[in-house]
A and B are shown apart, each in its own frame.
Chain A
Amino acid sequence: MEIRLERRQTVSRRINVSSRILAVLLSLPLIGLLFAAYGVNPVDAYLRIFTGAFGSPYGFCETIVKTLPIGLCAVGLTLAYRARVLNIGAEGQLIIGSMAATWVALYSGLPQSIIIIVMLLAGFILGAAWALLPALLKSRLNISEVIVTLMMNYISLKLLDYVVTGPWRGLTQWGFPQTDPFPSYARLPMIVGTRIHYYTLILLLASTLILYVLMKRTKIGYEVKVVGGNPDAAKYAGISVTKNILLVMLVSGGLAGVAGVGEVAGIHGRLIRGISPGYGYTAIIPAWLGGLDPLATLIASFFISGLMVGGDAIQISLRLPSSLVYVFNGMILLLIISSEVLAKYRIVIKIGGSRIWI
């Protein structure tokens, strides 16, 4: 018997979609083994995850609460990834965005009526600025954006630690590494009875829609696609590669920054150490799961958020370690990446003289 891969001559949309769904489905039994190892019935665990995330109004709202930061980062990343600019720095851009909003809320002294809008703008601008350096290094000196954005995540984490334990540490916080609470006029309003800060929700839906149209219908979307397809050909066609790298990095960085504003001004009401439990990294998964299509990515973000909320639920009810959720996420990403191989190749199994292929 012999097993090998054979290149598919065409990759249809159907294969693309079904290979991704297959990747998610395949991760279930694999994680199930892990559950079993903890002595938990996997079926039971999955049911609890599902009901925890989508089964109650509370769970459902919490899932949306997590969809806001993950979705904002992920949708922005689709644009960057389409230009084959591999921004891994949404986490850092989010953190910088949250710091920018914090400064505006606590130290700017701006009038109450405009403070929210300035916070959102500051989050976008500083998130974008944080992405500017890797963009410049890539477009000018051809330095890998993967490495630079990743390193800058660590820098932003340290900066965050510094401000919340040093200059911005709250006077009323008994020495905890966090700032004083924002004044109420610097808090994002919520849908009553939930923690859904709806300004951010509106921004998420709007940016998804705008990016969708941008990619499908506009000149900018076309340029980004050509740059991603073959940068030399883009140059030859008179498309500025530099301009497009800057554009996609600024947009994805900016949206991650806005996600950060939502976290400080919506959820926590102050800047705290560890403001993001890795939303910027998690967002990479729905971007690929959604095939770099903003609408599909939004849906995938909702799904991944559900996993996190459901994961929290079983952590409490089944006493499982919370890191299991990250194993789960990692497994899905791994399987999606492998499924790209499946989409491009088919598996041929040869037994004796006969060939079976999938």
Chain B
Amino acid sequence: MTDNSKYLVEMRGIVKRFPTVVALDNVDFKVRKGEIHALLGENGAGKTTLMRILYGMYKPDAGEIIVEGRRASIGSPGDALKMGIGMVHQHFMLVDKLTVLENVALFVEEGFRISFNGIRSRMEELSKTYGLKIDLDAKIWQLSAGEQQKVEILKTLYRNVKLLILDEPTSVLTPIESEELFKSLRRMVETGKSIILITHRLNEALTASDSITILRKGKVVAAEVKPREASRLDLVNMIVGRPLEFKPRINNARKGGKPVLEVERLRVLDDRGLVAVKDVSFVMKEGEILGVAGVAGNGQRELVEALTGLRRVEKGTVKIMGMDVTNSPPKKIIRLGVAHIPEDRFRYGVAPDLSVAENMIMKLYGEKFSRGIFMDAEAIQRETEKLVQEFEIVAPSVNAPVSLLSGGNIQKLIVARELSINPKILVASNPTSGLDVASTNYVHWIFHRLREAGGSVLLVSEDLEEVLALSNRILVMKEGKIVREFGGGVSISEVGLAMTAGAA
């Protein structure tokens, strides 16, 4: 045990084959004690798969894992946790109807008796140590995504892990929440723990990590890169292997463009029956990208669902192309040329057990992909293959169930499908969440192209950089109201202030 001891975990020569792809091809990956290690790579590069192997969820076809200098056989998450390795998944695994405390108890108690008092005091201590504040008696469904993530992290910390794996933790967080998360992670590292952080946001890797490993198509292209010695451009080159083509730039909306979406005094309730959208009015014009900024949970979701026919409108009107569509069924709104990239891709975006092709045709199955009452199998195959190619979706085959795709590739499928209907209006919630830099860039280019062709985009995003880079105008939403409107060319800090500080 010479210089090995400075590594907490070493994965050597890891190979993982799935029926149609080699997801990992001879990967070496090392994490030191007490560091935040960023794992980067394109969608489908194999990041999640590599981490699932380390966490004992998949069995590698070849290779070995060394934990603290000793060869380890990790056959299950239980084994991994015993060795001090914990993982927080892209999709949370919590029981909705139980409280935070009960969820933790489920995860940590092995016998028949549960000592809630013991768990409570330990949890309070942990949340103080790491600055992860949470109401232990709240039910999971009442919590925001950011809060649920804290629960997941605390749950694994409770098991005394030495290594915490986080799979795209910031894709569900607001910028402020992300900052808080990184502060907590720093504290963990100071107490000697190690963190593996998967992310598509290069700035996070550059500012918050100590070391970076990059995967491309199942192979390591760069290991233990020091963030101090690398620039954003270097990272892009290593991840994608080529420079990005599109530089987003704002051009002003055509003057006198016709209004395509008119919202007047709209009132919408949330799931609990509370008023989430409070008498909101705005107009979106032909050929403009209208950004909606705001901290998550300020009524954006309810607004979007009301506009697309998924949620009842209590009061007020929605007009699309001059036609009143208040409380119209989704089908009618789709027929008017409204596409929708939903915020939660698993809730609305896909039916995971259905195939890539079946998910791809969901919006136009009744028109483009059928003849009379029959489905047109040939057209379905052809169109799906075309879109898979155009959007570079990595999938075992177009007939494979969507649940086998990587998170980013599912997002790409949704974006591809929504753009394939040639929308006049695109309502997009966090459209690039989980997408790699190249795909994000491609989607931005497509939004731009759509605008040039006279289409309009309602861009609802927590990613302020994205909103600012693309939008002609920006509305700021807070507590269910539109509190500010900005033109193009405004600074991030100005918008950020309006989001948090309140009404102008």
A interface, CB within 8 angstroms of B? 4, 6-7, 9-10, 217-223, 225-226, 229-230, 232-240, 348, 350, 353, 355
Report the separation of the CA atoms of residues A229 and B19 in the bound assembly, to the nearest whole angstrom: 24
Report the separation of the CA atoms of residues A221 and B370 in the bound assembly, to the nearest whole angstrom: 12
Report the separation of the CA atoms of residues A229 and B358 in the bound assembly, to the nearest whole angstrom: 11
User: A221: nearest residue on chain B (CB-CB)?
Assistant: B375
CB neighbors of A among B244-284 (8 A) = none
User: B16: nearest residue on chain A (CB-CB)?
Assistant: A9
Determine if B330 and A220 form an interchain contact, defined as CB atoms under 8 angstroms apart: no
CB neighbors of A among B334-387 (8 A) = 334-335, 340, 342, 347-354, 358, 362-363, 365-366, 370, 373-375, 377
Instruction: Tell me which residues across on chain B come within 8 A of A235, comparing CB atoms.
Output: 310, 330, 348
Instruction: Tell me which residues across on chain A come within 8 A of B352, comparing CB atoms.
Output: 229-230
User: A353: nearest residue on chain B (CB-CB)?
Assistant: B73
Q: Provide 24 A-B residue pairs closer than 8 Å at the C-beta atoms, listed in order of the A residue.
A: A6-B59, A7-B57, A9-B58, A9-B404, A217-B377, A218-B374, A219-B365, A223-B365, A226-B354, A226-B358, A226-B362, A229-B353, A233-B347, A233-B351, A233-B362, A235-B310, A235-B348, A236-B310, A236-B348, A237-B330, A237-B365, A238-B330, A238-B331, A355-B75
Contact with A along B72-87 (1 / 0, CB 8 A): 0101100000000000
Contact with A along B313-336 (1 / 0, CB 8 A): 000000000000000011100110
Taking the nearest CB of chain B, how far is it from the CB of A355, in angstroms? 7
B interface, CB within 8 angstroms of A? 18-19, 57-59, 73, 75-76, 308, 310, 329-331, 334-335, 340, 342, 347-354, 358, 362-363, 365-366, 370, 373-375, 377, 404
- Once A236-B342, A236-B348, A348-B75 are accepted as A-B contacts, the answer to whether A217 and B374 lie under 8 Å apart by CB is yes
State which of B75, B330, B375 has its C-beta within 8 Å of the C-beta of A217.
B375
User: A238: nearest residue on chain B (CB-CB)?
Assistant: B331
Determine if B330 and A232 form an interchain contact, defined as CB atoms under 8 angstroms apart: no
Main secondary structure of the interface of B (DSSP, over half): loop
State which of A7, A230, A238, A353 has its C-beta within 8 Å of the C-beta of B351.
A230
Report the separation of the CA atoms of residues A289 and B399 in the bound assembly, to the nearest whole angstrom: 24
Determine if B358 and A222 form an interchain contact, defined as CB atoms under 8 angstroms apart: yes
Report the separation of the CA atoms of residues A275 and B75 in the bound assembly, to the nearest whole angstrom: 55
Instruction: Tell me which residues across on chain B come within 8 A of A222, comparing CB atoms.
Output: 358, 365, 375
Taking the nearest CB of chain A, how far is it from the CB of B179, in angstroms? 32
Taking the nearest CB of chain A, how far is it from the CB of B111, in angstroms? 19
- Once A229-B351, A232-B347, A238-B329 are accepted as A-B contacts, the answer to whether A219 and B362 lie under 8 Å apart by CB is no
User: 5 closest pairs, A vs B, by CB?
Assistant: A229-B351, A238-B331, A230-B351, A236-B348, A237-B362
Taking the nearest CB of chain B, how far is it from the CB of A347, in angstroms? 13
State which of A218, A232, A350 has its C-beta within 8 Å of the C-beta of B373.
A218
Beyond contacts A229-B353, A230-B352, A233-B348: 6 other A-B pairs, Cβ-Cβ < 8 A, are A4-B76, A7-B57, A233-B350, A238-B330, A348-B75, A350-B75
Instruction: Tell me which residues across on chain B come within 8 A of A348, comparing CB atoms.
Output: 75
Which of B350, B354, B363 has most chain A Cβ within 10 Å?
A: B354
Taking the nearest CB of chain A, how far is it from the CB of B406, in angstroms? 13
State which of B18, B73, B331, B374 has its C-beta within 8 Å of the C-beta of A219.
B374
State which of A223, A226, A236 has its C-beta within 8 Å of the C-beta of B330.
A236
Report the separation of the CA atoms of residues A217 and B18 in the bound assembly, to the nearest whole angstrom: 30
Taking the nearest CB of chain B, how far is it from the CB of A350, in angstroms? 7
Determine if B375 and A219 form an interchain contact, defined as CB atoms under 8 angstroms apart: yes
